[in-house]
A and B are shown apart, each in its own frame.
Chain A
Amino acid sequence: MSLTTDDVRKVAHLARLGLDETELDGYARELSSILDVVDHLGQADTADIAPMSHPLDLGARLREDKPDAAIDREAFQRVAPDVAEGVYRVPKVIE
C-alpha cells in the first residue's frame, strides 16, 4: 500500500493539519509503511470469524436515563478563549 503526497495533502486537509510541503514526502513514506504492517493482517484466515467493531468481545453497559450531571459552567468556560453572555465565541462562521 503506497500513499502519494497528494493523498497525504488531502488527509491533512481533512484533519485540518497544517503540513509543510517539505514534510509531505516523509509522511507519505511513514504512513505507507504503517499501512503495510496493517496489510499483514490480510494474510490471516478469517473465514470463520465474525467481523468485530471493537477488540473487546463485550456489549456496551447501558446507563439509566437520569439527568444528574454536575455542570459547572463557570469552571468549564474559564478555560475558553472567548466567552460572552454564557456562550462560547468563535470567529464568525459564514454559511
Chain B
Amino acid sequence: MNWETVIGLEVHIQLATASKIFSNAPTAYGAEPNAQASAVDIALPGVLPVINREVIAMATRFGLAIEADITRASVFARKHYFYPDLPKGYQISQYDLPIVAGGHLDIDTPAGGARRIGITRAHLEEDAGKSLHEAFDRETGIDLNRAGTPLIECVSEPEIKTAAEAAAYARKLHSLVTYLGICDGNMAEGSFRIDANVSVRPAGSAEFGTRTETKNVNSFRFLEKAIDYEIERQIDVLEAGGHIIQETRLFDPDSGETRAMRSKEEAHDYRYFPDPDLLPVVIDEAFIETQRSHLPELPDAKAERFGREYGLNDADAIALTQSRALADYFEATVAAAGDDTAALGKPAANWINSELAGVLNREALTIEQAPLSAAQLGGLIARIADDTISGKIAKQVFDALVAGEGESADAIIEAQGLKQITDTGAIEALVDEAITNNPDQVAQYLDGKTKIVGFLVGQVMKASQGKANPKDVNQRLVAKLDAMK
C-alpha cells in the first residue's frame, strides 16, 4: 500500500527577556539551583502573577513577522496537571484566545523552490522547572529556576509532508526568531524545543491516521531522523495489521529510535479555564505599530536584497541569510573589500560559503567564533580584485589569516613576499623557458590541441611560485605559440 505522511510541529521558543513572564525573577541560564526562583515562581500562597510587557512585545513582533492576526484581547488560562516541577499544579498558558492566530512560514524545500506552511496559532505560556532524576538515588531533585521562563508555543498546521520538510520548517522558524532577537536559539540549552506530531494514512485518504507526538528533539538532524524512524515504525505496525496508539514518544539520539513515554488518553484532561488572577491582555493599534517599526529586515527580504544588491544567485543568498550573524559577516566582508558591491558580492559569498564554511565546519565553530574577521577576509578579497595576488596565493593567505600568522592580508602578502609578479620581463622569461623545456606539448599545441596551453600555464605558475597572474601568462603563451605556427 502507498502511505502518505502528515506532520505538524509544535515548537517551544524561549523568549530572551531579562525577567520571567509573571515574576521579576531573572531568567539567566546556569545559576545555582533555585537561586532564580521567586515566591511567585515557586507558588507560595498569596502571590499574584504580573505580566511582563516585553513578553507581549516579543510575541507581537513574532506574530507580525509570520503575517498572523494579533489578538486584540488575548486571555491566559490555567492548564492543570500534576508534576513536581510545576509548583502551582497548573501551568499558565493560553487556550481559546492565544495572542497570535494564523500566519505562515515559507520554507525552502529540499527539492528546491518555496512552500508555504500554515501556522495555526502561537500562544504564550510559562515554562516548568527542571526535574533531576539522576541526582539522587531515591529522590527526584527539583530546580525551579526555569519555572516561569516565558515561552511562545508555535503550532504549525499538519501540512508538512516529509522529515526533510519538517527540518526545513524548523530551521526557518529558528532563523526567524533569532533574527527578531526574541530568542537566543540555543538548542543545547533548550531555548528552541521541537515536538513532532506524526501520522500516516493511505495515500489519498481524507481522514488523518492516529498520531504520535515525539519529544526531546534538540537538533534539526535529530528531528529528521526521529520523524523518519517514526514514519517507518507506524507503517510497519499498520502493515502488520496493528493499530497506532496515540502517545508521547521520546527520541533517543544514541539508538536513533523513538520509544513510548506515557499514554496520553487520560493524562490529557487539562481542565483549562481562564486564569482569574490575570486580566485579558489588551493590545491597541499604537502598540502594534510600535512593534512593527522595531522589526528588523527578515531573512526572506534580506535574501531578496542580497540578490539585487550583490548579484548573488538564490542558493548563495539563502545560504548567507540563514542567520543574522552570517548575513552581517557577509555584508561587513564586502564593505571591507571595496566600493563595487555588485562585483565583490559573488567572490565574498564564495569565500564564505566554501573556504570559511569549511574551516568553521572542521573546527566546529559558529560564525561568531570565526578565526578571521570580516575585515580581514574583505582585505584579502580586495587584493584578489586588484590583481595583487592570484586566487591560488589567496588561498595561502587565507590559511595564514586563519592560523593567525598576520594581522591582515596585506601584512601577510608583504611578510611572505607573495605579491604577483608585475615585471613583464620576468614573466616573458618564464614563458620562454616553458616553451623551450616542453617541446612535446608545444608540438601538440601547434598540431591543433590548443587545450594543452593549460599545462604550459601551470609550468609557468609553478616556476613563478604562484606569483604570476595566470590570465596574463595564458595570453602571453598563446600569443607566442600562435606566432610559431
Q: How many B residues touch the partner, as a band?
A: 35 or more
7 closest Cβ pairs, A-B complex: A59-B282, A67-B26, A65-B54, A87-B141, A62-B53, A86-B33, A53-B274
Contact A62 B142 (CB under 8 A): no
- Hey, which bits of chain A sit against chain B, CB under 8 A? 14-16, 53-54, 56, 58-71, 73, 76-77, 82, 84-93, 95
Residue B278 is within 8 A (CB to CB) of chain A in the complex = yes
Contact B97 A53 (CB under 8 A): yes
CB-CB < 8 A to A87: which residues of B?
Answer: 33-34, 132, 135, 141-143
Which of A54, A59, A67 has the most B CB atoms < 10 Å from its CB? A67
Q: Can you spell out 18 A-B residue pairs with CB atoms less than 8 angstroms apart?
A: A14-B269, A54-B276, A63-B53, A66-B18, A67-B24, A67-B27, A69-B40, A71-B35, A71-B37, A77-B34, A84-B139, A85-B33, A86-B32, A87-B34, A87-B141, A88-B141, A89-B139, A93-B83
Contact A71 B38 (CB under 8 A): yes
Contact of A62 among B23, B52, B83, B133 (CB under 8 A): B52
Residue B214 is within 8 A (CB to CB) of chain A in the complex = no
In the docked arrangement, what's the CA distance between A53 and B277, Å? 11
CB-CB < 8 A to A71: which residues of B?
Answer: 25, 35-38
Contact A62 B51 (CB under 8 A): yes
Residue B73 is within 8 A (CB to CB) of chain A in the complex = yes
Interface majority SS on A: helix, strand, loop or mixed?
loop
A86, chain B: closest CB distance, angstroms: 4
Contact A92 B51 (CB under 8 A): no
Instruction: Specify the chain A residue showing the minimal Cβ separation from B150.
Output: A65
B76, chain A: closest CB distance, angstroms: 8
In the docked arrangement, what's the CA distance between A49 and B362, Å? 64
In the docked arrangement, what's the CA distance between A59 and B27, Å? 26
Contact A14 B135 (CB under 8 A): no
CB-CB < 8 A to B35: which residues of A?
Answer: 71, 73, 86
CB-CB < 8 A to B83: which residues of A?
Answer: 93
Contact B279 A67 (CB under 8 A): no
CB-CB < 8 A to A53: which residues of B?
Answer: 75, 97, 274, 280
Contact of A60 among B33, B139, B261, B278 (CB under 8 A): B278
Decide: A93 near B131, CB < 8 A? Known: A60-B279, A67-B27, A87-B34. yes
In the docked arrangement, what's the CA distance between A62 and B51, Å? 5
CB-CB < 8 A to B82: which residues of A?
Answer: 16
In the docked arrangement, what's the CA distance between A16 and B271, Å? 13
Contact B139 A90 (CB under 8 A): yes
Residue B172 is within 8 A (CB to CB) of chain A in the complex = no
B282, chain A: closest CB distance, angstroms: 3
Instruction: Specify the chain B residue showing the minimal Cβ separation from A77.
Output: B34
CB-CB < 8 A to A68: which residues of B?
Answer: 19, 24
In the docked arrangement, what's the CA distance between A31 and B34, Å? 39
CB-CB < 8 A to A16: which residues of B?
Answer: 82
CB-CB < 8 A to A56: which residues of B?
Answer: 279
Which of B84, B139, B274 has the most A CB atoms < 10 Å from its CB? B139
